[in-house]
Chains A and B, each alone.
Chain A
Amino acid sequence: MDKNEVKSKKISTSELWAKLFRSASVERYLAGSVDMQELPLFSEYNSMLAEERNEKAEAVIRRGEIESSFGHKLFSGTRNPSRDTVLQLAFGFELNADETQQLLKVARATALHPRVKRDAVIAYCLQYHRTFMETQQLLYDNHLPLIGGKNDRS
C-alpha cells in the first residue's frame, strides 16, 4: 500500500472512535450526563487505580514524567490536576483509551475527542501503549502541541 492509497483512505470521526474506544459512539460518551457529586475524588481514584494495578505512586509518576513532589500532591489530593497532567498520569498508569476517558471524567476534565487531532494521537498512543516520550515525539513530529506545554491550563 503506497502513501497515496493510505491518504485516500479517509476515516470518519465515528470510525476513528470505534477503532480507539469500546463505547459505541462519541455522542453517547460525551452526552452521558455525569452527576459530578457521584464521582469519586480524583486522589481517591488514583489510589484505587494504583492498588488495583499493583502499582506504586512513584512508578506512575516516573512513567508519566511528572515532577515528583507535584505528582505526590496529586495522589494526596492537595493539588488539582490540569487536563494534560491527567493525561500524563494516564501514561504513568499505562491506561488504555477508555480507561483514560474515565480518569478524565473523574478529574472533571474534558474527554479525548476524535475531532481534535491531538486528542486522537494521544488516544492512539494510550491504546497501543506507547510511552509518554514516544507520544511527545509523535506530537512534535506532527507539529501538534506537546503534553504539559508551557500553556497548559492548570
Chain B
Amino acid sequence: MTDRDELLQSILDSDSSADYPAEFQEKYVLMECLSEQKGITTFLVQDPEGKNHIAKCYERNLWTIADNSSLLDGLDHKGLPKYTESFENENVLITVREYIEGLPLDRYAQENELSVKEITRICARICDILAYLHHRDEPIIHRDIKPQNIIIGPDGSVSLIDFDIARVYRSGHDTDTVFFGTLAYAPPEQYGFAQTDARTDIYSLGILLRWLLTGSTKENKNVKTYRPLDKIIRKCTGFAPKDRFADVSQVKKALFSANPRSQAVRLTCVILCAALAIGAVCYGGVRLYRYLTWSPFTEDAVPAFTSDADRVEDAVSYMKEKYGTTMFDETEDTATVGDLRAVLTELYGFDREYVYGINEDMPQENNAYFLPWGWDEGQTVDRDIAVYAAVKAHDPAMVADWSSLKDDNGYYPGVRVAVAFAEEHGIMNGANHPGDIPLGELAVIFANTDRVFEAAETEE
C-alpha cells in the first residue's frame, strides 16, 4: 500500500466526530464546518432524507451551558429557525435546528445596494422577531444581533439565527459575568456593567442600522445618514439603557415613521394641510371682507348729468313716468311739509294717519309716526329731512335711530345716517341746497333714492 493509499484509508477510517453522541452520528452526515471557535463548532449536516440542518456542538469541558432545547422548542416564529432536536453525552451538547436558506445580511448588503426603504424594512422585521422574543413570559434576549446572524431569504424574508448566547433574562442578577456577543455590536452593560435586558438587543439593533446605512459600526460625523434614521440610531445606542427605547415595538414604530415613504406622505400631508389652511384663511378673509364691505347698492344707479338743470328735469320726468304725478312740475317752488306728506301718501302709499299724525309728547323720539316733528303743512322742508323721508320710504330700519344724540341742527342720528347714505350713493346729486329745497330737488332726491334701491342687488 502506498503512502497515498494509507492516507486515504486513514481518512476513511478517521472518526473526527467520535466524541459526539452515537445517535447524532448515526442520523446526520457532516457536510460543512461553518465555524469553529472557543469550543463551539457549527456544522451544516444532512439527515437521512437529504435535508439540511444546522448542528451546534458545545464542548462541555470549555463551556457550562444549560441545555436550552426546551426553550428553543417552545419558539414558533417564521423569522426564527425551528428547533429539531438535541443530543448530549459527557463530552458535548449538540442542538440541531432548521437550516434557513439565504444569505447572511453582511454578504447580502455587500452584494446588493440597499435603499433606505429596504434597510428600514429589514430592521422592522428584526423588530418583529425581537418583540416575539422579548415579550414572552420569560423574555429571551438574543444578545448577539449582528449582520452575520441575520439571514435574508431568496424571497426577501428576514430570519434571526444563532441562539448560542441567548438566554432567559433573570431579574435580580446584577451583572452578567461572562462576555457574550460581538464587540462592535455589544452595549456597555454587556461588558459586565449591569444585567442585560431587552435594551441590550435594542442597542445592537441601533449599531446594525448604522452599519447598514454607513458601512461602519462606529459613529462617523463625516458620513451623513438619513436624518430621521440617525435619530433612531442615537436613541437606540444611548450609553445608559434608560436612555434607549424601552421596547423594540417603539423602535419599529419609529422606523415606520422614518421610512422615506412615510416621510414623503407626512411632508405631502403637511404641505396639503398648509395649503388648505392658507386657502381657507384666504377664502375666509375674502368672505369676511365681502361680508364686512358688502353693500347691495350699485355705484351707478344714479344717472350722470353735467348740469343740475338736467338732473332736475330728468328726476321730474322720472317721477311723472313712474307715478303719473305732476306735483313736481313747478320745480322752482319751495317744497313744503304738505308736499312731502303728499308724496309719501299719494305716491308711496303710506297710511295717511301714519304720515300726518303728530306725537304730542315731548321729546318726540319714537317711530309712532313717519315724521317725528310736528311741522305745519306750509313749513318748508330742509334737504336733510327730504333725504330722511326718501330713504325711510324704502328702508325704515336704516334710519330708526332715535337716540337723543342730536346734531347741531337738532336732527336725530337716523337723519344723519340717511344723509350719509345719500352722499355715498349720489342721491343728492342735483340737490345742492342744504336748507330749504325747491320741488325740483325734492323730485331729484326721491327719484334718485328710488333708483338706488331698485338697482340694489339681493343679498348673497
- CB of B46 within 8 A of chain A? yes
Contact of B12 among A83, A115, A121, A151 (CB under 8 A): A121
A10-18, A57-65, A88-96 - interface stretch: A10-18
**Which residues of A107-154 are within 8 A (CB) of B?**
108, 110-111, 113-121, 124, 128, 142, 144-145, 149-151, 153
User: Of B16, B31, B107, which contacts A114 at CB under 8 A?
Assistant: B16
Judged by a CB distance under 8 angstroms, whether B64 is at the interface is: no
Given contacts A108-B107, A142-B12, contact A118 B29 (CB under 8 A): yes
Taking A83-B32, A118-B31, A121-B11 as contacts, is the C-beta distance between A151 and B52 under 8 angstroms?
yes
Interface residues of B (CB under 8 A from A): 1, 4, 6-14, 16-17, 29-34, 36-37, 41, 43-44, 46, 50-52, 101, 106-107, 110
Contacts A9-B10, A110-B33, A110-B44 aside, 14 further interface pairs with beta carbons under 8 A come to: A6-B1, A11-B7, A16-B10, A27-B36, A36-B107, A113-B33, A116-B16, A116-B32, A116-B43, A121-B8, A121-B11, A121-B12, A145-B50, A149-B50
What bracket does the count of chain A residues touching chain B fall in? Answer: 35 or more
- B-binding residues in A (CB < 8 A): 1, 6-7, 9-11, 13, 16, 19, 27, 30-31, 36-37, 83, 108, 110-111, 113-121, 124, 128, 142, 144-145, 149-151, 153
Q: How far is the CA of A83 from the CA of B32 in the complex (A)?
A: 9
Beyond A118-B30, A118-B31, A124-B7, whether A10 also contacts B46 by CB under 8 A is no
Can you give 30 A-B contacts (C-beta < 8 A)?
A1-B6, A6-B10, A6-B13, A7-B13, A11-B10, A30-B33, A36-B110, A83-B32, A108-B107, A110-B33, A110-B34, A113-B33, A113-B36, A114-B16, A115-B16, A115-B33, A116-B33, A117-B11, A117-B14, A117-B16, A117-B30, A118-B30, A118-B31, A120-B11, A124-B7, A124-B8, A142-B12, A144-B29, A151-B51, A153-B44
What is the minimal beta-carbon distance from A122 to any residue of chain B, in angstroms?
10
Q: What number of residue pairs across chains A and B have CB atoms under 8 A from each other?
A: 88
- B114 to chain A minimum Cβ distance, whole angstroms, is 15
Contact of A11 with B14 in the complex, beta carbons under 8 Å: yes
Which residue of chain A lies nearest to B215 when distances are taken between CB atoms in the complex? A37
